[in-house]
């Protein structure tokens, strides 16, 4: 277990962020399940959920790989890794409450999977990473680690961003766009990359993977729709952090929230959401 880099990821690990991740998972769970099916997730497999957060995807994966057969061989497991002890603690509490007994937790850095799994030859059938690679300074180290822990013939399934800064309110509004630019700046300042998916095909190929599937989920949200709650919850969690960290002023934040409040009641506007890419690769 390694913990040799900046201890907290840019969006934080407090209760507000934990709750936002739960809502976010629900709003994107159809896309996740579709990708898992494409990657071949099924009962009996060993699946890694890397950068699992409080475990919202982990629980769904554990239910699927656990199966319902009395045959022990059909009981798969999920190994959930995160650098946040707080998120892993929450994951553990929820798993116990839901009586999910096939989840193992690992406190570690996705950029150092060798330290997180020191004795393991390639053991994972599938590794899943959603909204993690865009935050890490050394994605190439993550891919190098994946090449060691995923079995030959096993899969990596990734959901992450390219062209994040295309997110906009429509019609555009300068007070809104200023904050989007600041969000991307803050990720970059922590070593992250809101364009990360563009770099993954080459990184994966260089580490012995074949990219089988690459597609994009481009969604929009209209005021009053279920998906409007996604950006809404993100602003509540993150815009105050942007002020605290000096990426925008309190006045910028005030102007942003005024635009957002008006937009939330304007049936003629919509949000062009950030493009979320799906990628499945096979370890050769």
Ligand X SMILES: C[S@@+](CC[C@H](N)C(=O)[O-])C[C@H]1O[C@@H](n2cnc3c(N)ncnc32)[C@H](O)[C@@H]1O
> What are 182's two structure tokens?
């600041």
133 near ligand X, judged by CB under 6 A: no
Q: Which of 36, 41, 48, 51 binds ligand X (CB under 6 A)?
A: 51
Q: Token pair for residue 198?
A: 């563009």
- Residue 110 as a binder of ligand X (CB under 6 A): the answer is yes
Q: Which stretch binds ligand X (CB under 6 A): 109-117, 227-235, 239-247, 265-273?
A: 109-117
* 87 in contact with ligand X (CB under 6 A): yes
Distance, in Å, from the CA atom of 117 to the CA atom of 106, rounded to the nearest integer, reads 9
132 binds ligand X, rule: CB under 6 A: yes
Q: Does 57 bind ligand X (CB under 6 A)?
A: yes
User: What whole-number distance in Å separates Cα of residue 105 and Cα of residue 92?
Assistant: 8
Burial degree of 187 (CB within 10 A; 0-12, 13-18, 19+): buried
Task: With contacts defined by CB under 6 A, name the span among 46-54, 172-180, 241-249, 259-267 that binds ligand X.
Answer: 46-54
- Report d(CA 258, CA 245) in Å as an integer: 21
Residue with tokens 């839901």: 98
* Total of chain residues touching ligand X, rule CB under 6 A: 22
Q: How many whole angstroms separate alpha carbon 204 and alpha carbon 211? A: 7
Please count the residues of the chain: 284
- From the list 103-111, 174-182, 220-228, 269-277, the region that binds ligand X by CB under 6 A is 103-111
- Footprint of ligand X (CB under 6 A): 9, 11, 13, 21, 25, 51-53, 56-57, 82-84, 87, 109-111, 130-132, 135-136
């Amino acid at each position: 277990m390694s913990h040799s880099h900046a201890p907290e990821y840019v969006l934080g690990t407090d209760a507000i962020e934990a709750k936002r991740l739960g809502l976010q998972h629900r709003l994107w769970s159809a896309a996740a399940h579709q990708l898992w099916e494409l990657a071949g997730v099924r009962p009996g497999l060993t699946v890694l959920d890397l950068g699992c957060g409080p475990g919202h995807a982990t629980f769904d994966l554990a239910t699927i790989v656990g199966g319902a057969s009395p045959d022990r061989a059909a009981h798969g497991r999920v190994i959930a890794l995160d650098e946040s002890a707080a998120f892993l603690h929450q994951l553990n509490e929820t798993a116990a409450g839901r009586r999910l007994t096939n989840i193992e937790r690992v406190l570690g850095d996705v950029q150092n999977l060798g330290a997180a799994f020191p004795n393991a030859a390639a053991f994972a059938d599938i590794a899943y990473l959603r909204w993690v690679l865009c935050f890490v300074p050394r994605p190439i180290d993550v891919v190098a680690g994946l090449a060691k822990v995923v079995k030959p013939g096993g899969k990596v399934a990734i959901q992450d961003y390219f062209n994040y800064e295309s997110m906009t309110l429509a019609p555009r509004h300068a007070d809104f766009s200023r904050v989007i630019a600041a969000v991307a700046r803050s990720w970059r300042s922590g070593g992250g990359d809101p364009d990360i998916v563009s770099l993954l095909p080459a990184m994966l190929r260089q580490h012995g993977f074949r990219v089988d599937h690459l597609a994009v989920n481009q969604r929009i949200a209209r005021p009053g729709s279920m998906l409007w709650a996604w950006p809404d919850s993100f602003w509540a969690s993150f815009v105050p952090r942007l002020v605290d960290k000096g990426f925008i002023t309190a006045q910028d934040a005030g102007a942003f929230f005024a635009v957002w409040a008006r937009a939330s009641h304007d049936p003629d506007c919509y949000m062009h959401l950030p493009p979320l890419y799906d990628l499945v690769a096979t370890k050769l």
